[in-house]
Amino acid sequence: MDGEKDWWALVGGRSRVGRRLAEILAPRHNLLLTSARPWAGEEAWLEGLSTGLRTCCWDAEAPEIGPTMMADLDTLGPGLPKFASAVVVAGDFAVQPFGVWEAAGLERLWRINLSFPMLAAQALAPRLEAGGSLQFLLDAAIHRPFPSRLPYTASKAALAALVPGLAKALAPDLRVVGHAPGTVLVAPGEDEAALARATPLGRVGSVEDLARALEYAAASPYLTGEVLTLDGGWHLGL
């Protein structure tokens, strides 16, 4: 543990956006990283982060995930200062076109994109320091729905609706902020050039853009209950 650094939690800090966020944040923060899968095989990458680290395996589809989160944090608790910020990154970017929706697929999406972030918030809030921030990764699609991912869009809009209510519930000690990014890491099969052309600023974003917003929100004691949209103007259309 680097005593000079504060502690951040990244729920979903192992792959793609979460992984890149861990790499960007590690020079300034000690990190608790969670993944849905066991961390075996990631030793070298974790070592390479060169910061204070703890890891947990939190799978949204595990039956007792809520109590598991609480128990893991209780176990870590004594050796761990309170978190300055906890970021819920995890979320499934599922393609589910209207007409082929089925209960199991929708319920799985709600579990990963809604129940899991809410349970993580409930488990982490008591372990945030005074003035600390709970941050949720949403999507700019809450303003401009993805036609082939309407359930995904709805799940993020529901999580966005949680932000003001949770902010009031946790004030004055804690703050709650949502982030609605546009594309910050192109998904496999997506056309980056086309996404850039569809954005007034003429480019897709980067995880660095997102990390800047997360650190701004964590460092802004007068900010709570807001959703910050970070998408180069994409949701405005051209």
Ligand X SMILES: NC(=O)c1ccc[n+]([C@@H]2O[C@H](COP(=O)([O-])OP(=O)(O)OC[C@H]3O[C@@H](n4cnc5c(N)ncnc54)[C@H](OP(=O)(O)O)[C@@H]3O)[C@@H](O)[C@H]2O)c1
- Sites of contact with ligand X (CB under 6 A): 12, 14-18, 35-37, 58-61, 89-93, 112, 116, 137, 139, 181, 183-185, 187
Three-state DSSP at 115 gives helix
For ligand X, the closer CB: 81 or 108: 108
Q: Which is nearer to ligand X, 68 or 223 (CB)?
A: 68
Counting every residue written for the chain, the total comes to: 238
Encoded tokens for 122: 């409930």
At closest approach, how far in Å is the CB of 170 from ligand X? 21
Shortest gap between Cβ of 61 and ligand X (angstroms)?
5
Minimum CB distance to ligand X, residue 189 (Å): 12
Min CB(10)–ligand X separation in Å: 9
The Cα 8–Cα 24 span in angstroms is 12
What HEC string does 197-226 produce? HCCCCCCCCCHHHHHHHHHHHHCCCCCCCE
Instruction: Give the Cα separation of 19 and 74 in Å (integer).
Output: 25
Q: How far is the CB of 132 from ligand X (least distance, A)?
A: 21
Query: Between residues 130 and 193, which has the closer beta carbon with respect to ligand X?
Result: 193
Cβ-closest position to ligand X = 91
Cβ distance to ligand X smaller for residue 35 or 135: 35
E strands, the chain, are 6-11, 29-35, 53-57, 83-88, 128-137, 175-181, 226-230
Minimum distance, C-beta of residue 175 to ligand X, in the bound complex (Å) = 20
What does residue 181 show for φ and ψ, rounded to 5 degrees? Answer: -80, 155
Nearer to ligand X, 61 or 173 (CB): 61
- CB neighbour list of residue 64: distance below 8 Å, 6 or more residues apart: none
Which residue, 49 or 129, is less far from ligand X as judged by CB?
49
**The tokens of 18 are what?**
């979460």
